[in-house]
Amino acid sequence: MNTNADPVYVAAGLRTPFARVDGDLHQLDAIAVSVPVVQAMAKLLTPGAHPDFVVWGTVMPSLGMSNIAREAVLDSGLHPATPAFSTVLACSTSMAATFEAASMLGSGGRELAIAGGSESMSRVQFGLNQNFSDWMRRLIQARSFGQRVDRFAQIKFRDVRLFIPTVTNRTTGKSMGEHCEEMVREWHIARETQDRLALTSHERAVRAMANGFFDDLIAPVGEVTRDSLPRANTSLERLAKLSPAFDRSGKGTITAGNASPLTDGAAGVWVANAGGLKRLPSHLPHVQLVDWELAAVNLKTEGLLMAPAYAIPRLLARHNLAFNDIDLWEIHEAFAAQVLCNVAAIENRDFLENKVGVHAEFGAFPWTRVNPNGGSIALGHPFGATGARILSMAIKELAAMGAGKRAIVSICADGGLGTVALLRAV
């Protein structure tokens, strides 16, 4: 919830082109892919000026850094006195960074921040499992040849293993796709409905690219200037031929075609109060960040990616808004099924009253207002960057609609978490 007494604004930031894992950005780690974005955003300020602070995050761990925000500041050439701290909230990381930045505005004269994140799925680092790491540390600490011999005698073959990060939940051991298949069964979401949403995502992203919508939202990385993931040649027939990726029992519905792909990229967004807004170029699209909501569900008894179905109704009810009062919906498409499940839930009165605890009439959900320029299925999903990417797209689209128009931006996240923002054009 926004507790800042003064209005908080978010302005459209920049991002790298998004690329499939092992694709155009495969040589850049999470820091290196962040640098072009931070540099390009900083160049929008008056020469010599810099943001008051930076909040940045990445999801997949790296042994070479503990504070990617600070490393990105230093490697980008921002003033070394710029404070920076890191955050992580799975797929909601850079949206959470935005909320944290908003909460800090006004304190200590802070007016302007960069919030964002990055992910390099091509440079995921393997490590040693814990027992092997413990043994290696004791070996390094040995002070004599005899101690080293003793340490070597203590190693057990079964402990000599690598730790390989996976896109699975630590508590359940299941992948996001496996969890989403469980949601599909609970909410009775058809495969064809998922494929139709995926096709719409690609069609809208391809159209937006052709119309230049992304041109002022992307900072080139070397010769890479455009997203490589949206497919102009996909169709329902092509999507229908794809095999289920997570449930091969014959009942699976989620495929590589109706799920977001593993992606490399970085994205940032501006967060400002009235004073900070004056420091940004006047042409930069900006809107008010009216309020936000964070939610969590018991992932052992509910769908892992269902938290937005709690956050959205609470946020709307707090402002006495119905679905039709929202002019733009930007919903993260981790999977087409996840979007469909969450919408089915927030349209369900029994769910709203007995699970969410919200007693309100929201009306019919306006599907025509969702993700007009494509979503994560088509554009890609670098975990740490998606929040800033989806916010910048919403900001640009909403600002063009005119003062008073509203948007909801929603992201689900691993761990049974979700973040939702309410924006208003000014």
Pick the closest to residue 192 from 110, 269, 122, 255 (CA basis): 255
Give the span between the Cα atoms of 6 and 10, in whole angstroms. 13
Instruction: Tell me if 231 sits within 8 A of 379, measured CB to CB.
Output: no
**Catalytic: which of 50, 91, 180, 202?**
91
Which H or E run includes 317? helix 308-318
How many other C-beta atoms lie within 10 A of the C-beta of residue 80?
Answer: 9
What is the CA 191 to chain-centroid distance, rounded?
25
Q: 209 Cβ partners below 8 Å, 6+ apart? A: 226, 227, 230
In the annotation, is 412 catalytic? Answer: yes
Q: Which residue's structure tokens are 């797929």?
A: 91
**Catalytic: which of 50, 286, 332, 381?**
381
Which H or E run includes 139? helix 130-141
Give the span between the Cα atoms of 342 and 348, in whole angstroms. 10
In the annotation, is 341 catalytic? Answer: no
Pairing of the two strands 127-128 and 406-413? unpaired
Q: What would the two tokens of residue 54 be?
A: 């930076």
Q: What is the DSSP string of 268-289?
A: EEEEE-HHHHTTS-TTS-EEEE
DSSP label at 85? E
CA distances from 411 to 126, 236, 290 (A): 28, 26, 17
Q: Give CA torsion, residues 369, 370, 375, 378, to 10 deg.
A: -80
Give the span between the Cα atoms of 61 and 161, in whole angstroms. 18
Instruction: Tell me if 288 sits within 8 A of 423, measured CB to CB.
Output: yes
Give the span between the Cα atoms of 25 and 82, in whole angstroms. 27
What spatial distance separates the first Cα and last Cα of the chain, rounded to whole Å? 20
In the annotation, is 381 catalytic? Answer: yes
Give the span between the Cα atoms of 7 and 208, in whole angstroms. 31
Q: 260 Cβ partners below 8 Å, 6+ apart? A: 333, 334, 335, 376, 377, 380, 381
Catalytic residues: 91, 381, 412
